[in-house]
Amino acid sequence: MAAYIVKRVLQIVLTLFVFLTIVFFLVNAQPGDISRLYALDPNLPPETRAQMQELFGVNEPLWKQYLVHLKNTVTGDLGVSFSLYPRTVADVIKERLPRTLVLFLTATVVSFYLGFGLGKIIAWRRGGWVEYTSTLGGVTLYTVFTPWFGLMMIWLFAFKAGWFPIGKFLDPVVWQDAPSDANSIFNLMLATAVILSVIVFGVFLVTSKRRLGMARVLQVGSIAVSVLIVVGVWLSSGVGYLAWDIVKHMVLPIATLTLISFAGTMLLTRNSMLEVIREDYVLAARAKGLPEKAVRDRHVARNALLPVVTSFVFSLAFAIDGGVIIESIFSWPGMGQTLVAATVSEDLPLAVGTFVFVGLFVLLAHLAADILYAYLDPRVRY
Partner 1 sequence: MVVESAPVSDARSLWRVRLGLAARSLKQNWSLFLGTRIGILGLVIICFYMLLALAHPILMNTVWDERIYDPVIGFAFDETEQPAPPSLSHPLGTDPLGRDILSQLMFSARSEFLLGLLAAVVTVCIGTMVGATAAYFGGLVDMLLMRLADIMIMMPGISILIVLSALMEVGHLELALLIGILSGFGGTGVVLKSQALSVVVKPYIEAARTSGGGTLHIILVHVVPNLLPLSFLYMMFTVTSAIFSEAVLSFLGLLDVRMSWGLMIHTTESAGYLLQVGEYWWLIFPASLSITLLCSSFYLLGRSLDEVVNPRLRRT
- Between residues 207 and 337, which has the closer beta carbon with respect to partner 1? 337
Least Å distance between CB 342 and partner 1? Answer: 8
**What are the backbone angles phi and psi of residue 63, rounded to the nearest 5°?**
-65, -30
- Between residues 123 and 305, which has the closer beta carbon with respect to partner 1? 123
From CA 55, how far away is CA 50, in angstroms rounded? 9
- Between residues 92 and 339, which has the closer beta carbon with respect to partner 1? 339
CB–CB of 360/348 below 8 Å?
no
Amino acid sitting at position 267: L
6: exposed, middle or buried (C-beta count within 10 Å: 0-12, 13-18, 19+)? Answer: exposed
From CA 168, how far away is CA 176, in angstroms rounded? 16
From CA 202, how far away is CA 167, in angstroms rounded? 34
- Between residues 251 and 313, which has the closer beta carbon with respect to partner 1? 313
- Between residues 12 and 243, which has the closer beta carbon with respect to partner 1? 12
**What are the backbone angles phi and psi of residue 326, rounded to the nearest 5°?**
-60, -40
Least Å distance between CB 202 and partner 1? Answer: 29
Least Å distance between CB 180 and partner 1? Answer: 32
Least Å distance between CB 324 and partner 1? Answer: 6
Helix, strand, coil abundance in the chain, percent, nearest 5: 80, 0, 20
Least Å distance between CB 51 and partner 1? Answer: 25
- Between residues 148 and 241, which has the closer beta carbon with respect to partner 1? 148
Partners of 88 in the β-ladder: 80
- Alpha carbon distances (Å) from 249 to 81, 170, 179: 27, 6, 20
Least Å distance between CB 355 and partner 1? Answer: 5
Least Å distance between CB 351 and partner 1? Answer: 5
Partners of 80 in the β-ladder: 88
Cis upstream peptide for 165 (omega within 30°): no
Least Å distance between CB 378 and partner 1? Answer: 22
- Between residues 92 and 358, which has the closer beta carbon with respect to partner 1? 358
Query: Residue 264: which residues within 8 A CB-CB, separation 6 or more?
Result: 115, 142, 311, 315, 318
Q: Which residues bind partner 1 (CB under 8 A)?
A: 15, 18-19, 22, 26-27, 29-30, 126-127, 132, 135-136, 139-140, 142-148, 151-152, 154-155, 159, 166, 267, 271, 274-275, 278, 314, 316-317, 320-321, 324-325, 328, 336, 339-340, 342-344, 346, 348, 351-352, 355, 358-359, 362-363, 366
- Between residues 8 and 51, which has the closer beta carbon with respect to partner 1? 8
Least Å distance between CB 154 and partner 1? Answer: 7
Exposure of 181 in the CB half-sphere (CA atoms within 13 A) = 3
CB–CB of 109/102 below 8 Å?
no
- Between residues 198 and 380, which has the closer beta carbon with respect to partner 1? 380
From CA 327, how far away is CA 197, in angstroms rounded? 23
| Integer-rounded Cα radius of gyration of the chain | 24
Least Å distance between CB 267 and partner 1? Answer: 8
From CA 214, how far away is CA 221, in angstroms rounded? 11
- Between residues 140 and 197, which has the closer beta carbon with respect to partner 1? 140
From CA 340, how far away is CA 346, in angstroms rounded? 10
